[in-house]
Structure 1
């Protein structure tokens, strides 16, 4: 007997599921390539230090005995893996990326299941999270756009986001059902773990949790258990030995300056999310206590407050507004009342996702390379950083390299230190002095005597600089991309 043709409903489920599967395959292939950009060097350097000393790793970037917020529980696990297996740092980061991506996908699936039982809902949610952004390309750790994920999939932020979705799913079920004390205490530990692994994502996770608690309007007994969970989490934050979590609240102005660009080009970067805002309005009409609506409001308020007060680092809470809006846009396809409304919404969402996908289509270049891309797609590709593996035949672990800011963001990934950190460091007391020393060393009018004094003070063994760097105490050893030169410091 001839099988009946698939129903429209089955086809409607299969299409988003197939598209989501293709996205996951692309991200898996990206992990194989592991394109270098942004903070990858910082995280690689963190694993380097932990593989050499789990108990006293010191500063990950410069030769100083200071704590660092990058020594999170997740980085500690990866450091142990590197130490026990002898695998290279970049292989370990790829393994970490696989774990983080798995956590993220299963976390989205679990949390969306608390909001809708429709079989297509998780796939639609995943597609909205990665494509419903804007017509201008935007990449930043802690943000779930496809291009951001491709560049940050090995970062602790993706691991923390995966844990956050699991945290929200677990909390939602705990608020709905009768849950024992042990599960609530486990929620407290998970909350603290997210905050320790990536502090900004921990803020997003906390805002989401607050929205879910407000929406549930729990009774006195649940509030007591919630308080106990919060207390357990705070104790873990206080006891974490690798850095003082609560000292992060005193972060300086450097952190604000770095995050100022988060408030630029909002319409271009996030304009498609307005579709999700409209979906949130529809959910609010159906339920004044909808958790996604409350989540969005909390995130939007914190983001706006950061812009108005000059605390631009608060802009990292923006995913707390984006995620609920993106999820609402996806869920409206399966939860709107009339079939005609759902169909119309699906068409509008599909068009928006197509625009978002085209914006980020250059991500394909991280898998196949620019030369294999069609011209229109190749124009959207952004070349990743080259790296500094070319210095490793000479520069060894623990050597100190004099380099400017951009090289200093990559060189420690291979084991050496730099004189000044490539990123602001709250726990490094002489950071400003180190930055000034690097600036002075490379300044055109600096005398040879001053340069030699800087080299002696910071025990510099190598210099990475421009071709023709005029200094009697330097001997050219190797040439790298962009006519950079590695010099050995004469002793």
Structure 2
């Protein structure tokens, strides 16, 4: 009968290697992990803008003005939003009570999320191996063991991706997920009080509310821990109680209907299709972890990381085969266990040639991954100070629209803008006519997008343009052609002209 290791018992009972080479390798891994964390802390200071940062800033803007009825974060409409999570509500309270700017609050969120992530990885890895050197290579593998092609997406832990998303709720949720797995692993290994299981249920619901896709990953990981441990009937009853409490929390959350999201997948498939492209280039180095999982399976057919990987790979493959591309967001449920397995194999592969080979192959793979993501340095060092080959890998963050605020755009004003500016403008308090991101609760999103397209189309007449502006209460226009009913106010970066709509 399979017996799970205790909190202080390593997965492998093989004695750790001795000698100066081994000690030097452990010290090098710890130094490298510390440097990577330091780099991310410096990134928080700069907080590069790309992707969804404007959405999360807009969410805090709405909550700081109305905690109870914030409305849609992007457009002037009274709708719920899945972005109004418990974590964002707390950040809104911080912004409202302290008067701090939204971007300062986002930096605080980034620090909290990064802290949760690092400590969560440490705690979870300690349930998998008692070797004191294990957490450092585990963290490095999660951040660097990806592929030769750069890949950035929220909920994915690549170094460059994390640098761009460190203030996102997905990072906070990932940190909670690692703590959840560590807590659950300890709970299923022994007799645990009812309160612990209820706490686990509440934590599971919190992760799902804060970032739904990461909640799926956390759920798959939790299922793997339970299947691996084969807990007693009493523990299963308490686990059931925790699940019921978690479902109750999800049902009672007042800011949006969590269960309504299950019918919203069709609106998200197109934007997630790229997750199924260039798999070898983006994730090729993870094959090393898949090999490590094979070794772990050979030693234990109910290894939790093996089960975790299989569940994640199954959901990801099912999404690709059925056209449910949003299921691709479950891919971290396959990546994380493989990356952790690659790192843990260094400290659990036993003595001799196998360990020596693994201790050479993993650092080489990590070096390739680090080189792929070397452009991350550009977020803390001026591009001109970087070596030319590194500077070529750097991608300049978005400029932002602070210049519009200085020109007179105020909180609650409606701005006519195309999709790209619409992803940033609400971060400063204004609304746009159409949302810059898919919105599953905004029923007239398609109509709004069509209105923006018609307004900026070459063949649209003056009367139709003015009718669109009146319909949506537009006070400002970014870009487009001048018109008698528009007064040019300023020109921003990239030659973007800001017009005020005349009465």
TM-score by length of 1: 0.98
What secondary structure does 1:56 align onto?
coil
Per-residue displacement from partner, 1:159-178 (whole Å, max 9, x unpaired)?
Answer: 00000000000000001121
Which whole-Å CA distance do the structure 1 matches of 2:141 and 2:346 have between them? 11
Mapping for residues 90-101 of structure 1, pairs under 5 Å? 90-101=103-114
Which whole-Å CA distance do the structure 2 matches of 1:254 and 1:18 have between them? 44
Which whole-Å CA distance do the structure 2 matches of 1:335 and 1:87 have between them? 48
Aligned to 1:282: 295
Aligned to 2:455: 441
Mapping for residues 336-485 of structure 1, pairs under 5 Å? 336-393=349-406, 394-466=408-480, 469-485=481-497
Aligned to 2:154: 141
| 1:24 pairs with 2:37 | yes
Does structure 2 retain, via aligned residues, the 8 Å contact 1:130–1:146? yes
Which whole-Å CA distance do the structure 2 matches of 1:223 and 1:417 have between them? 48
Aligned to 1:487: 499
What secondary structure does 1:392 align onto?
helix
What secondary structure does 1:488 align onto?
strand
Does structure 2 retain, via aligned residues, the 8 Å contact 1:35–1:384? yes
Does structure 1 retain, via aligned residues, the 8 Å contact 2:297–2:303? yes
Query: C-alpha displacement at 1:291, in angstroms?
Result: 0.3
Aligned to 2:125: 112
Per-residue displacement from partner, 1:50-95 (whole Å, max 9, x unpaired)?
Answer: 0000000000000000000000000001000000100000000000
What secondary structure does 1:461 align onto?
strand
Aligned to 2:94: 81
- What are the ranges of 5 or more consecutive residues in structure 2 without an aligned counterpart? 1-18
- Count of matched residue positions in the alignment of Structure 1 and Structure 2: 485
Query: C-alpha displacement at 1:13, in angstroms?
Result: 1.7
Which whole-Å CA distance do the structure 2 matches of 1:226 and 1:253 have between them? 32
Does structure 2 retain, via aligned residues, the 8 Å contact 1:13–1:119? no
Query: C-alpha displacement at 1:254, in angstroms?
Result: 2.9
Query: C-alpha displacement at 1:471, in angstroms?
Result: 1.8
Query: C-alpha displacement at 1:351, in angstroms?
Result: 0.2
Does structure 1 retain, via aligned residues, the 8 Å contact 2:265–2:326? no
Does structure 1 retain, via aligned residues, the 8 Å contact 2:173–2:207? yes
Which whole-Å CA distance do the structure 2 matches of 1:9 and 1:431 have between them? 59
Aligned to 2:223: 210
Query: C-alpha displacement at 1:472, in angstroms?
Result: 1.5
Aligned to 1:320: 333
TM-score by length of 2: 0.95
Per-residue displacement from partner, 1:310-363 (whole Å, max 9, x unpaired)?
Answer: 000000000000000000000000001224321210110000000000000000
Does structure 2 retain, via aligned residues, the 8 Å contact 1:273–1:325? yes
Which whole-Å CA distance do the structure 1 matches of 2:21 and 2:363 have between them? 16
Which whole-Å CA distance do the structure 2 matches of 1:105 and 1:148 have between them? 16
| 1:151 pairs with 2:157 | no
Query: C-alpha displacement at 1:252, in angstroms?
Result: 4.7
Per-residue displacement from partner, 1:111-162 (whole Å, max 9, x unpaired)?
Answer: 0000011111000000000000000000000000000000000000000000
Query: C-alpha displacement at 1:9, in angstroms?
Result: 3.4
Aligned to 2:196: 183
Deviant stretches of 4+, over 6 Å: none
What secondary structure does 1:450 align onto?
helix
Which whole-Å CA distance do the structure 2 matches of 1:42 and 1:97 have between them? 15
Per-residue displacement from partner, 1:439-466 (whole Å, max 9, x unpaired)?
Answer: 0100011111001111111000000014
